[in-house]
Amino acid sequence: MGKGESVRPTVGWREWVSLPDIGIDRIKGKIDTGARTSALHAVDLHQYFDEGVLRIRFRVYPVQRDSTSHLTCDAEVIDERSVKISSGVAEVRPVIRTNLCLGASCWPIDLTLTDRASMGFRLLLGRRALQRRVLVDPSRSFLSLDPTS
């Protein structure tokens, strides 16, 4: 390790995280170093202006395979990004910035909002959100502290 470098925690290919700024205390995230952008499963997106600031209200179903328990979230829209989905088609998504808490650390990340109902995980954490923060061990899971413990 070089001078001034800190030890980065190791995370597995899936981890329990929280997104406290938007009221999500616990959600299972898939760590995907092949994805550049992070994505949150969000439906019923409604963009609106509040005192000249573009905001978005949306619903999140934070528990996998549970289509009844949801949270209503609200955040400032900081951007719109064209994201190439797994089929190769580009999709334009709103982007919010929120704090991600993983283990004992929290830091701001950009999240695109999209319907991930057909996907296994409600939250995908891409490499932009993780770079210079963690090391990934793809053979392990749940190495960080559960945010509810």
Residues 41-50 have a mean pLDDT of: 96
Distance CA 43, CA 99 (A): 20
Q: Which structural domain range is residue 99 located in?
A: 22-136
Number of domains in the chain: 1
Cα 32 to Cα 13, 45, 69, 141, distances in angstroms? 7, 24, 25, 13
* Res 3: pLDDT: 54
- Residue 132 is assigned to a structural domain of this protein: yes
Whether 62 maps to a domain, the answer reads: yes
Residue 72's CATH number: 2.40.70.10
pTM for this model (two decimals): 0.88
Q: 72 pLDDT exceeds 90?
A: yes
- CA–CA separation, 149 and 145 (whole Å): 7
Three-state DSSP class for 48?
strand
| Span 87-106, pLDDT tens digits | 778 888 999 999 999 988 99
Angle subtended at Cα 137 by Cα 126 and Cα 103, rounded to the nearest 5 degrees: 70
| 33 inside domain | yes
**Is the residue at 44 inside a domain?**
yes
Q: What is the maximum span of the chain, computed from C-alpha positions, in angstroms? A: 50
129, part of any domain: yes
Percent pLDDT > 90 in the chain is: 63
Spatial separation of the C-alpha atoms in residues 129 and 146, rounded to whole Å: 19
Which residues have a Cβ under 8 Å from the Cβ of 55 and sit 6 or more positions away?
47, 48, 49, 74, 75, 76, 77
Q: Does residue 53 surpass a pLDDT of 90?
A: yes
pLDDT class for 145, splitting at 50, 70, 90?
Answer: low
Would 16 be classed as within a structural domain?
A: no
Q: Residue 107 domain-assigned? A: yes
At 71 the pLDDT is 93
